[in-house]
Structure 1
Amino acid sequence: MLGQPRQIFVLTGAGVSAESGLGTFRDRGGLWSRFDPMRLATPEAFAADPDLVLDFYNHRRRDARAAEPNAAHRALARAADTLAARGGHLFLCTQNVDDLHERGGSAEVVHMHGELMKARCTACGTVSERREDILRADPCPHCGAAALRPDVVWFGEMPKHLDRIEAALARADLFVAAGTSGSVYPAAGYVGLARARGIPTCELNLDPSDNADAFDAASYGPASETVPAFLAELGL
């Protein structure tokens, strides 16, 4: 079924970073079972209590900095390099806001839900690198306003890079979802778009996702095992 794809679209989710010690969101014991997202991950929550929201994301940023890429991150980076050397392309789209793909060696990563290691000024819109804590009094490096927030997509906000993502999906000859819950849209709908275009689809996950029935093939187990093994089957 898979053959030798040249344009691979890979969608990753929290399950890829779980083995690096970063919590998932919707699984039993995940972040949203322990914290109320409506108090921590919406524009309204930030307006009501910016210190609480900033503190939550400061802790997440520290956890992400302390984490290390795992075998899944590194395998995807190697696969992208190998495919590029053959004249192909691996488009890596992630729902994760950590930077483990980049630190695992991936040169091109599209973060549809934003990036934890960046801050956005709510006054001028400038996005800047930010690996340290964000405090309410911190000035924007561009305009000087004390109006910084994490550059992550909150509930009620539009995901990023949607046109670029859909264009890459239209060019793909293989769609792979790794470590995703299959419950967050629009990402959960990409497998349906792929199948409508006749693109083979495969799920790599610890357990079947909410939309597992939409995939042509699947392999279940830890991402550090399933992702490298699947890519090896493709000669990557």
Structure 2
Amino acid sequence: MNMSNSFKLGTFVKTASPHVIEVLGTTRLDFVCIDAEHAPMDRAVLDIMVMAARTTRLQAFVRIPEINPAVVLSTLDIGATGLLVPHVDSADQAAEVVAMARYKGGLRGFSSSPRFAGYGSLGMKEALRAGDEAQIICQIESEEALKSAAAIAAVPGVAGLFVGRADLALSMGLDNPRDERVTQATLDILRAARQAGKIAGVHVGNNAERDQFAAEGADWFIVSSDQTLLRQAAQGIAHVD
């Protein structure tokens, strides 16, 4: 558990190294989100990154690069805790993603050989149960998705909503994710998630922003990224004449 016991904390991992995951596993973070959308992560890299997370107590979420049955299947087969799904704009799209990720009532193809099923050590019934526990978090990052946030949150199998403020700003014709109009939209999305009893997540740059949105009911935070944290720490010790 994190230090507050009231919300979950993680960070994006954009560096293709399992050692980064190992290091983060020594901290009090709750999870990592491996960013296969905006970082160079192919299936082989994702495999060792998730493997590293599973050797720690960290949950391993993966932000997938696209909504695609093969991508969803392979990412869950390697043992990801759940998926952060970008650019979910409608309830129908959310339902399609859930179906891709589910055995019961869904379309996910089954094999007992991958990591999630213990490399064949689990019986089929137990493997199906474990597979259907994967969490699907929909990223809301357009005006269309903003209008559909409540409907997306209500889709069975959607674990939560996550606000992508940068793309949301672009969709609104803005170039500042901290514009007050984006902030208000973010609060509306978080409210929709909470009213549905789902995870209310947002990406923030620092603890001050985290606390700001926690006060508004957000309970799942991706704070910064491994690259930014490294750069900030290095800059903090850099000697400048």
TM-score, scaled to structure 2: 0.30
Q: Which has the higher helix share?
A: 2
TM-score, scaled to structure 1: 0.31
Q: Which has the higher contact order (CA 8 A, sep 6+)?
A: 1
